[in-house]
Amino acid sequence: MNPVPLVPAIDRPPARRPAAPGEPRNYTVSGGMRNIAPTAQLARIAARRAFVETKQAFMQVLATTDASAPGVDWLRKQVRSAQTPEDLWLLRSAVFEVLRHDALNGARLRESLRRSLDGVFPGTYFASGFSTL
């Protein structure tokens, strides 16, 4: 008597046959992105790119701040381990607080972070035209 397979045939990945001699390998995308429309795929790539650019902006800002300031090392670790845009959104106030103490570059770095966050979360920052003294 044949044992019943534990995994149904429809749930198994398709069998891959080895490439014949002289035949090129198949490097097409398979898995999660295969059944997504090209526009949705491009939107996901653009969202990921915006997140990576924002994360790099956070890392650059924290690299230029004074390492002796309280909490900077913890913030660097948190930003480095961020995996979603929401993680960076939750850290923004702590990073802005660190930048508040930087008299030379604080305003410029805060503005670059706001622009970067606006790329990930559109419409969250509106320039008022007013500036602090």
Helix (H, G, I), strand (E, B) or coil at 21: coil
CB 109 within 8 A of CB 99: yes
* Average pLDDT over the chain, rounded to an integer: 78
Average pLDDT over residues 61-85: 88
**Residue 63 pLDDT > 60, yes or no?**
yes
Contact between 55 and 113 (Cβ < 8 Å): no
pLDDT tens column, 17-30:
666 677 776 666 55
- Better pLDDT: 29 or 45: 45
For residue 59, give the nearest of 80, 87, 73 by alpha carbon: 80
Tell me if 79 sits within 8 A of 62, measured CB to CB: yes
